[in-house]
Homo-oligomer: A and B are copies of this chain.
Amino acid sequence: VDTLANQETPVVLVDLGVLERNIADMAQGCRLDGVRLRPHAKTHKCVEIARLQLMAGAAGLSVAKLDEAEVFAAAGCQDLFVAFPVVGADKGERLLRLSDRARIAVGVDSVAGAETLATIFERANRKLDVLLKVDVGFRRAGVLPEDALAVAQGIARLSGLRLRGVFTFAGHVYSATSPAEIEAIGRAEGETLVTVADRLRRAGFAIDEVSVGSTPTAAVARAIPGVTETRPGNYVFHDASQVNLGVCAIESCALTVLATVVSVPSPERAVLDAGSKSLSKDPLAPSGGGFGWLLGRSSRIAALSEEHAVVRVEPGESLRVGERVRILPNHCCVVVNLTDRLLGTRGNRVECSWPVVARGSR
């Protein structure tokens, strides 16, 4: 039997029991609310986890990159949404090929960007389904609600495209400092998007997808009448940021990094063999500092170099050279992107090794 003790560090572990429960809980919540679940696969980049999500009733997958779309299509997923404003003729050609083997839709947020795809599909006498990205407050990509109609009308003039919905991502929720604020952001996310969808419908658009995103806002936003779909990603694993935001308990975190204490230069400082090339320097949301928590201890990672984590050892705790610790990272999605495989565990038993596909993707 393969056990944790046999694994070299650093290595990324996925607690399969927690993973399965997270997948089941989100699927059930969406089913009860009558909303399609299209999980964002950029979190896991893992065919085996996508299969568990689809088996539990997900309608399809969201992805961020065409590499991801191609990998999941090749693995048999026939319904994919690229939740990113894809731009460029080279990407358009890939979308055209993809559309031969899967139902594919992509995000757009400008006529200029949409044109670069439309030309390819028009020439092939085909139509590409697109969803208009709406900015509900994150101020990243997306059109403002008041500009949505004008951009939609511009897109409608491009004969290679078919505008079939709207979508958003309320990423500003990761700065929320209370459950009430998270709820308010989730409510505004759903309501604003539904309002935009209704406005487009009144102008004659056949909007049949109103798709919200994000793990923290998932339960609130999907319950807004008129929302048809939700695209959370992080929920399969959760991480220290979700716990810190109050979104879940630490027991709902499936992904940890197993590391070894390699140096204890002083009682209050210990060094682990997992650095920013394993954990990333993504900060703890919404605030709090540090680069990861040690499971079962109050000591936390205070600094990261590429291959070293420096733990500030709390009074009353101690770490010794050679000892192994499990790190709950700040942000699970970027940790997965730093490793080639995920080890699935039950207790101390290692049950499977799942390859991470489409890392470093385009």
Contact = CB atoms under 8 A, between A and B. Distances in A.
Contact of A276 (B135, B280, B321): B280
A306 to B, nearest CB: 6
Contacts of A276: 280, 282, 334
B144 A322 contact: no
Contacts of A144: 265
Given A84-B262, A322-B113, A337-B277, A8 B307 contact: no
B307 A64 contact: yes
A113 B262 contact: yes
As for how many copies of this chain the complex holds, the number is 2
A329 to B, nearest CB: 13
Nearest to A144: B265
A42 interface: yes
Interface stretch (A20-28, A46-54, A86-94, A120-128): A86-94
Given A91-B8, A283-B281, A310-B140, A263 B340 contact: no
Interface in A307-362: 307-308, 310, 320-322, 333-334, 337-340, 359-362
A112 B360 contact: no
Contact of A64 (B90, B306, B338): B306
Interface string A257-279: 00011111100010101001110
A250 to B, nearest CB: 23
Contacts of A192: none
Contacts of A165: none
A171 interface: yes
Contacts of A339: 360
Interface centre among A109, A141, A310 (most CB of B within 10 A): A141
A5 to B, nearest CB: 10
A141 B262 contact: yes
B141 A87 contact: no
A262 B109 CA distance: 9
B280 A141 contact: no
Interface in A102-156: 109-110, 112-113, 116, 133, 135, 139-144
A110 B261 CA distance: 11
A305 interface: yes
Interface of A: 8-11, 42, 64-65, 84-88, 90-91, 109-110, 112-113, 116, 133, 135, 139-144, 171, 260-265, 269, 271, 273, 276-278, 280-283, 303, 305-308, 310, 320-322, 333-334, 337-340, 359-362
